[in-house]
Amino acid sequence: DAVMAHGHGRCRCCCGEAAGGGERGAAWGLYLRIDRQRLQCLNERREGSGALVFRAWEERGDRAQFVESDDDEELLFNIPFTGNVKLKGVIVMGEDDSTHPAEMRLFRNIPHMSFDDAAREPDQTFSLNRDPIGELEYPTKIARFSNVYHLSIHFPKNFGAETTKIFYIGLKGEWTEAHRHEVTICNYEASANPADHKLEQITPQTHFIS
């Protein structure tokens, strides 16, 4: 049937939107593949607000949902996916003012990044334009982002305001189920537990030669 013709043989899970203008929205469906239990946003003013910016493309205009930075203008998102992602593009939508982020830095597959970690060289950096309607797409270097299970997005600065405000972040690409290579994490104790190694108390025998 004609509706499935665009599916490239793989079920896209959004065939219901295929009619009409749903094509564009369907492309930005990676938000459905985020492991929201483990999604982190560092320096968010309101706890949990960072997760709100990852939503359907059609809902990007909902200005009740946004994240604002707290102590300074930096924001850092740690985004784990439920499988492997080929990331093709990013949209960043903010206010048409100086709270809009001015730069975006992408890091792949470095879980639990901190602001200290963000000092390293990113996989790709973008200078951002103000985008109050969520129309500007920043294409990634697909070869570099073809097997991403964790994406970190660092916004180091904005256009001069005290804090940064973001309404919507769109992620475009393809998702594939993770192959079952469960990583076994062995917890080696960093310091030996003295209780495990009871040293026999060696009492030095002093022999006096008389």
- 44: CATH: 2.60.120.470
- Sequence-distant (6+) residues with CB within 8 A of 3 are 15, 18, 19
pLDDT at residue 193 greater than cutoff 60: no
pLDDT at residue 55 greater than cutoff 70: yes
Specify the pLDDT at position 185. Answer: 55
pLDDT, tens digit (0-9, with 9 covering 90-100), for 24-54: 778 899 999 999 999 999 999 999 999 999 9
Q: Residue 56: which domain range?
A: 34-177
120 falls within a domain:
yes
User: What percent of the chain is predicted at pLDDT more than 90?
Assistant: 71
105 falls within a domain:
yes
CB 67 within 8 A of CB 75: yes
> How many whole angstroms from its chain centre is CA 104?
12
29 falls within a domain:
no
Specify the pLDDT at position 180. Answer: 60
pLDDT, tens digit (0-9, with 9 covering 90-100), for 84-118: 999 999 999 999 999 999 999 999 999 999 999 99
The pTM score is 0.76
pLDDT at residue 169 greater than cutoff 80: yes
80 falls within a domain:
yes
Residue corresponding to tokens 């006096």: 208
Specify the pLDDT at position 191. Answer: 55
Of residues 171, 14, 183, the one with CA closest to residue 85: 171
> How many whole angstroms from its chain centre is CA 197?
43
61 falls within a domain:
yes
Considering its fold, how many domains does the chain have in total? 1
Of residues 142, 75, 85, the one with CA closest to residue 109: 85
1 falls within a domain:
no
Residue corresponding to tokens 């009740």: 64
166 falls within a domain:
yes
108 falls within a domain:
yes
